[in-house]
Structure formats: C-alpha cells, structure tokens
Amino acid sequence: MQFFIDFYSQYGRFIVFIHVISAVIWIGGMIVIKFIVLPALETIHDTKLKLSRILQIMQRLLNFMIIFIVSLAITGIFMNLGHDFRHSLPSLYMLVHIKEAVWTLMAINFVYIYRKRNSAEREFVSGDDEGSAESIFTISNYLLPLNIFLGFVAVYFGIILRGL
C-alpha cells in the first residue's frame, strides 16, 4: 500500500492526466460515432455498402478503445490506492466504489457492444442485412447512449473526488 501512496505522490499529475485523457477519448469516441459518424453514413443509400462501412468503423473504434479502457482501470487503481481513500471520509470512499461500479457497468456494456457488433458482422457476412442493421440500431440507439450517460456520471464523480 505504501508503494502506491509514494508512487502517486511522485507521479500523481501524470497518472491523473492519463486517466482523464483516457476517459475523454473513450467517451468522446462514443459521442463522435453516435452523433457524427453514424448520421453521416445514413446518406449512403446502398445498404450493403453502408452496413460494411459502419461495421468497419465500429471495429476500428472498439479495438482502439480497449487501450484506453485498460488505461482507465490501471490509473484508477493507482489513484484510489495513492489517495488512500480507505482511510479518508467514508462518503468519499463510498463514492470511489460507486464510480468503480459505474466504470464496471460501462466496461460490461462495452463488451456487450463488442459482441453485438461481431454478431452484426456475422449476420452481414451470411447475407442477413436486416439482422445486421437491427444489431447496429441497438448499439447506436441504446448501448452507446447508455455508455455516454454513464461516462458523464463517472466524470462528475471524478470531479467530486478531486475536490473541485
């Protein structure tokens, strides 16, 4: 435990920087896909081409996001142990656990999005364009907005924990 406190006292700014940048990229990437990329792709009238492009973009984004999700987890652990919240105010320690639960829900939802996207690709490859489009619709209209909302909640809790 003392290792984390000492390490965090030396490299805390760097750890917080990586943590915040990772959150910005994860949440920002989902916002860009939901509100910019997917609506722009709706202008493509060829269903096969549109589905192909959406699946390709989602695959690249989701694979890219894994790096930042892992980074969030690692830096979050260092921040939690480095601040030694366990020995701070009980309300702050509880908030740490609530924030961890929110990020865990986001990670579980991310895994579900990843699997749903792969399922959509299998449907697309097998010629089930309707099934593929339905899976993409679910991701776009339910799963991404859920993660965006949870991401904002987690960021807000992070601001409270930083004392701002």
In DSSP notation, 30-79 reads HHHIIIIIHHHHTT---HHHHHHHHHHHHHHHHHHHHHHHHHHHHHHHHH
Q: Rounded distance, CA 152 to CA 142, Å? A: 16
**SS3 of residue 89 by DSSP:** coil
Average pLDDT in the 10-14 region? 94
Phi, psi at residue 43, to the nearest 5°?
-75, -10
pLDDT of residue 35: 97
What DSSP character marks residue 88?
A: S
pLDDT of residue 50: 97
Average pLDDT in the 4-12 region? 90
Tell whether the model's pLDDT for residue 1 goes beyond 80. Answer: no
The model's confidence at residue 32, banded by pLDDT at 50, 70 and 90, is: very high
% of residues, the chain, pLDDT over 70: 99
- Residue span of the structural domain in which 21 resides: 2-162
pLDDT tens-digit map of 55-95: 999 999 999 999 999 999 999 999 988 888 787 788 888 99
Answer whether 8's CB lies under 8 Å from 74's CB: no
Tell whether the model's pLDDT for residue 164 goes beyond 70. Answer: no
pLDDT of residue 34: 96
Per the structure, the count of domains in the chain is: 1
Compare 161 and 112 and report the one with higher pLDDT: 112
Question: Among residues 17, 108, 97, 29, which one has the least CA distance to residue 64?
Answer: 29
The reply to whether the predicted model has a pTM over 0.75 is yes
pLDDT of residue 70: 96
pLDDT of residue 23: 95
Max alpha carbon distance in the chain (Å)? 60
